[in-house]
Structure 1
Amino acid sequence: MAHNLADLFEHAADAYGDDRLAVVENDRRLTYTGLDEEANRWCSVLADLGVGAGDHVAVHLRNGVDCLALILGILKLRAVPISVNYRYSGAELRYLYDYSDACVLVFHREFGAAVAGAAEGLDSVRHTIAVDDGSGVEPLPAGALDARALLAAASPERPDVERSADDLFLVFTGGTTGKPKGVMWRQEDLWRSLGGGADYHTGEPVPDEFHQSRSGLAGDPMRYLILLPLIHTSGLMPSFTGLFAGGTMHYIPHFRADEALEEIESEKIQVAVVAGDAMVRPIIERLRECGADTSSMFMISSGAALFSPSVKSDLLGLRPDLMIMDAFGSSESGFGGLGVVTKADLDDGSLFTDHGPRIPRGTTLQLVDDFDEPLPDDSTEIGWIVKSGYQPSGYYKDPAKSAETFREVAGTMRVFTGDRGRYDGPATIIMLGRGSQVINSGGEKIFAEEVEAALKAVDGIVDAVVLGIPDERFGHRVGAVIEWAVGHDGRFDEVEASLRGSLAGFKVPAALWVVEKVERHPSSKTDYGWARKLVADRAPDHDRRTRRERGTDQDRRTDVEGASA
């Protein structure tokens, strides 16, 4: 046996058998034995189509039993699952299929037309398989196979495959600032970093590959509601961590706040895995309306997206006994740290004292300057967050980007996460935001995430994306795309007044674009490409620069004392 994700799941299936539920999706409820057999059927289907070790299989599915079982079946074969962003279409979808070298595409029928257009003529794609989702969508790609018929004829027996800890797992980035990239992980390193193969606080490896399945026998199974997509590591790896330890994973194919609350109440969910504000805010609004019983839930764990202090405060106001876990990490770095927030942080005011989440450094996180020199622990400078420990081997088919992201600092290989932060004592880093989203306005560095959090705290604003917009005087100014709450009257002067209570004047957006819905990736990460295109295509709905045609910018005089004038 090896430290391999498929082996680790099989250990759990052997330990829990038919005695525990493994996965729930609406009326589909599979025990560990049932999920193992369904994964084996997918394994048999793919093997019959000629898929073997090292082959790439594209997973173009929403959350649910089929998605989880397919991924496990691919791993059982030593093949490589390729996660497909189901919001992609056209050229971007074709790019991912081609770049990833997928030989088989498995998709829900609702995506049939997009798959047909994107896969046509690609030599690498040998087969497409349609999974029935009740949509009845036509047309499908020419020659598409029916998953239901294939699975009905497939064997539920485990394949006789000897796996390796070195087997490849490709994690695809969300493509928030460009085309998606494949990050190459050894399966053991991914497990150690994100799958419970090491202590999340100390980094100490677990004693053996049976540790998780053995420890899960000691108590009742935990019930998890995974709202993040399985095609994203922030959804898949918590699922694997829970499964390896005997938990029950609950999924709903489409995120809707009312359905999430219904699942929490009816299934007595204990832990919900979410994507920050984008999911928690509508849950809070619906919870206020319906008063659902969420008393079974003791923890909400967030990853992949901003979870602002104002939304945490609203949640703790409704559920003061709740523990909030804010996970820091990325496709490249794996697990980076956990920020823990409780009502005590709300009561003592510390929830609102920092620009971003406070992350324990542990033994792996460090700050370096622009020349890759480590910053001393007592430094007050803003630096780049780098991580040591378990990490990928590089980017798929991109050695130049690999050399840029994975490099030595003081004799140790580090992942340059692209995030900026500063020390808050020797044990903690305050995460300020992505370096790629820093706005340089007349020499002042402004973190987009800080302004986004402030906008979301304004009454009437449901969601916001912040980005730099060209400005003749300062090079760039802050711009924002905002979504009003239903029925809000949209007073821009009130927004500006509210922001000035928490932000320096030069950080207040100079221009605002209003949309019916802020677009996000399935993981709820910000879609900056969409925002940049929107801002370039039309004039803002509000631009306060028109009031300063003579160049007398009060914000700049007040906040930076004319240094940029």
Structure 2
Amino acid sequence: MRDDVVEASSTVGHPPDAVWQIIGSPELYPRFLPAISWCEVTEAAVRGRGPRCLVRLAPNRETLVEGTIHAVVYRPGEHVVWCGLPDERNWVSFELRALAGGATEIVLRLMLPSLPPEHYDLLSRSAVRGMLKELTERIALQLSGEAAEPPEYDRATALRTANTLVRAGVLKSGRPDKVAKQLSSLSQWGATIAGGYLAATARGADDIAVHDERNSRTFRDIDERSNQLAHALAKLEVEPGRRVALMCRNHAAMVEAFVGCSKLGVDVVLLNTGLSASAVEDVLAEHRPAAVLADDEFAQTIAGVQGDFPRVSTWDDAEQGYRTVDELIQDAPVSRPKPAKRPGQIVVLTSGTTGTPKGARRPTPKGLSTAASILARIPLRARDKIAVAAPLFHSWGLAALQVGMSVRAELSLIRRFDAEQTLRMIAEHRCDALFAVPIMLQRIHELPERVRSRYDLSSLRIVASSGSAMSGAFVTSFMDTFGDILYNFYGSTEVSWASIADPVDLRAAPTTAGRCPPGTRISILDDERRPVPPGDEGQIFVGNDMLFDGYTNGSSVPRAKDMMATGDVGYQDAAGRLFVTGRADEMIVSGGENVFPRPVEEALVALPGVYEAAVVGVPDEEFGQRLAAYVVLRRGARMHAEDVRHYIHQKLARFAVPRDVYFVPELPRNATGKILKRMLNDDLWPLPQA
């Protein structure tokens, strides 16, 4: 046990009142102290009493200490003393002393007798002096409005890529003829969908590649059927360089269509299955496909679109459907086409949460290094069994397909998501991983324990999520229920990926978007495209080898040198973790203050009785804009608007309190579960309750 007080001091060239803006704001500590990963104010400071906080210390990836602290001394501009609860023998003191010339001496004292012996090195005098020195430097840069020197980013060297691929089992010794065929396929076809599946076929043609609720397909099956499909489409005058539109749910025929179009060298336009008939018509009119392949349930939608392009059924379940893929390829040769001069591209539609979806041209991956970047953070292995619930037309479902083909995975495709059916599939097929969007994980988590316990999920070691934000409360609860197997992937259709949070990151800081994988870098920039000071928020820009090639309508997104904007605003903490505050176009100015909805949403879903919430900006005659909250209550919960406003006022600044509170039965979502905020101001929504 350590009972001695450790003390260190440092000087910053700014007055105490300015330094107090950070020292007196515990919620900012993770942005300035790498050892503090999370600090949530649970009770705000009031006259005569300091705040109370939940704090997590994560000085390294092996150590995580969580506890409650409160300020027993809280003299603004002068002194704060934090004590642990219930053991007040643990305490940390920051004292600010005014110096000549407007400078401040920061005196740090701490005593942590309850710290386990294995962590004593964290409290050595040299370690404490180093911690205070880094804190002082970051405070000085922040108050001076200067950016820190950018850290050296994690480069994807050839050696590192090879090590990752060997560890995942993508590259390993085998029969020389099979290895040669695998490498030859990648050399001829590149890292396209066709190249990936042909390489997998070369290593294990009779291995199961895909199964859905009707069919199982080996890699050989997919190779031969996609060859036939490519020949059949060519007979329909679908030529290399043209476009084929797919409107399909997850099933084997969609994978075959991906591979066949890739072999033919045509671009694939992925239609969101949740699009309205008018939206489908607009997208097809813009992209002018040479053929449309669609499930029968969308036949009527496709039938209403002008054009003489051929229509093919990919999932036969209607009497009046179009001719099926099986009928189309029945007499087609199984010989493999020659690689096209120009690889076909994949066009993914943006989510359309704030407007009309746009077609984004995805680049062809730069060899196996692209897969290695993801495998370095999400530990998939060769021949893993992956349940894919995320739609294949969505960037995350497409990522599952592309990474899956790299590790020669057996994909279990979930055509229509159902929470219990998904668990049944995982249990029956002994799946190692699940790729899903957050709303799916929420539905799985909501299943009663008696239902979840029916299924043996012991094989599941990875749950990979992307597509929208997850609340910190949900992240922690999900891992408490299913284990530390959750991975949060942050990216966009335009930049592919930016960061990945693994279970260690999410335990340390549940709302984090994680850290960059090798070969990716992030910059937080202001409106003039300059790096922001430490701890500040700004626009998130990403640089990697998979930035998109622009929208099909000729437009693009803002760039800064070789980096591209995600459209989000966020910050990085002192340990380098990324946090996304919200969409840049969602920021409002209320009474002169910049306000983002996401922190309010995060606070609302932590309120007992609240199931989910969305917050948007609305016009206000007095303040310019104000926040309006749309709240879905849990079954049996009762709440008034004033309860919500009072709760947020205790958690956040005054200007973040929503003036309007609507209690609604559900929130409008698209097919991938993203909330459609543009619909929240519709006149059909109820009036706010008093």
Q: Same fold (TM over 0.5)?
A: yes
RMSD between superposed Cα atoms in Å: 2.7
List structure 1 segments (4+ residues) > 6 angstroms apart after TM superposition.
none
- For 1:336 and 1:246, the matched residues in 2 are separated by 24
- For 1:498 and 1:11, the matched residues in 2 are separated by 56
CA displacement, residues 59-100 of structure 1 (integer Å, 9 cap, x when unaligned): 011111111211111111110110101111232111111112
Secondary structure in 2 matching 1:240? helix
- For 2:488 and 2:472, the matched residues in 1 are separated by 11
Letter in 2 for 1:227: A
Secondary structure in 2 matching 1:196? helix
- For 1:526 and 1:300, the matched residues in 2 are separated by 22
- For 2:324 and 2:473, the matched residues in 1 are separated by 47
Secondary structure in 2 matching 1:188? coil
- For 2:220 and 2:650, the matched residues in 1 are separated by 56
- For 2:350 and 2:627, the matched residues in 1 are separated by 26
Q: 2:433 aligns to what? A: 271
CA contact (8 A) 1:304 1:523 kept: yes
Specify which of 496, 499, 509 is matched with residue 351 of structure 1. Answer: 509
Unaligned runs of 5+ in 2: 1-187
The CA deviation at 1:101 is: 1.9
Letter in 1 for 2:202: D
Q: 1:150 aligns to what? A: 328
CA contact (8 A) 2:664 2:685 kept: no
Distance 1:285 1:58, change over 3 A: same
The CA deviation at 1:406 is: 4.7
2:529 equivalent to 1:372? yes
Distance 1:169 1:516, change over 3 A: same
Specify which of 475, 479, 483 is matched with residue 316 of structure 1. Answer: 479
CA contact (8 A) 2:268 2:345 kept: no
2:315 equivalent to 1:132? yes
Equivalent pairs counted in the alignment come to 497
Distance 1:31 1:330, change over 3 A: same
CA displacement, residues 321-376 of structure 1 (integer Å, 9 cap, x when unaligned): x222111111111111111234x854xxx435x6x534348652111111012335
Q: 2:457 aligns to what? A: 294
The CA deviation at 1:311 is: 0.9
Letter in 2 for 1:177: T
Letter in 2 for 1:116: A
Letter in 1 for 2:396: S
CA contact (8 A) 1:169 1:184 kept: yes
Greater Cα shift, 493-502 or 464-473: 493-502
Q: 2:610 aligns to what? A: 461
The CA deviation at 1:57 is: 0.7
Letter in 2 for 1:386: F
CA contact (8 A) 1:171 1:184 kept: yes
Look at both structures and tell me which one has the larger radius of gyration over its CA atoms.
2
Secondary structure in 1 matching 2:669? coil
Structure 2 counterparts to residues 442-453 of structure 1, below 5 A: 442-453=591-602
- For 1:34 and 1:170, the matched residues in 2 are separated by 26
* TM superposition score normalised by structure 1: 0.81
- For 1:220 and 1:184, the matched residues in 2 are separated by 29
Secondary structure in 1 matching 2:221? helix
CA contact (8 A) 1:480 1:511 kept: yes
- For 1:463 and 1:373, the matched residues in 2 are separated by 36
Q: 2:270 aligns to what? A: 83
Percent identity over the alignment is 23
Letter in 2 for 1:14: A
Secondary structure in 2 matching 1:239? helix
- For 1:269 and 1:500, the matched residues in 2 are separated by 45
Structure 2 counterparts to residues 418-429 of structure 1, below 5 A: 418-425=567-574, 427-429=576-578
Distance 1:505 1:358, change over 3 A: farther
Q: 2:345 aligns to what? A: 168
Structure 2 counterparts to residues 55-74 of structure 1, below 5 A: 55-74=242-261
- For 2:365 and 2:651, the matched residues in 1 are separated by 44
Greater Cα shift, 252-261 or 311-320: 311-320
Structure 2 counterparts to residues 304-453 of structure 1, below 5 A: 304-320=467-483, 322-342=484-504, 346=507, 350-351=508-509, 356-360=512-516, 363-375=520-532, 379-390=534-545, 391-398=547-554, 401-402=555-556, 405-407=557-559, 409=560, 412-425=561-574, 427-453=576-602
* TM superposition score normalised by structure 2: 0.67
Distance 1:80 1:341, change over 3 A: same
CA displacement, residues 462-486 of structure 1 (integer Å, 9 cap, x when unaligned): 3332211222222222223333334
- For 1:192 and 1:448, the matched residues in 2 are separated by 39
Letter in 2 for 1:28: N
Secondary structure in 1 matching 2:616? strand
Structure 2 counterparts to residues 25-44 of structure 1, below 5 A: 25-44=212-231
CA contact (8 A) 2:360 2:493 kept: yes
The CA deviation at 1:231 is: 0.4
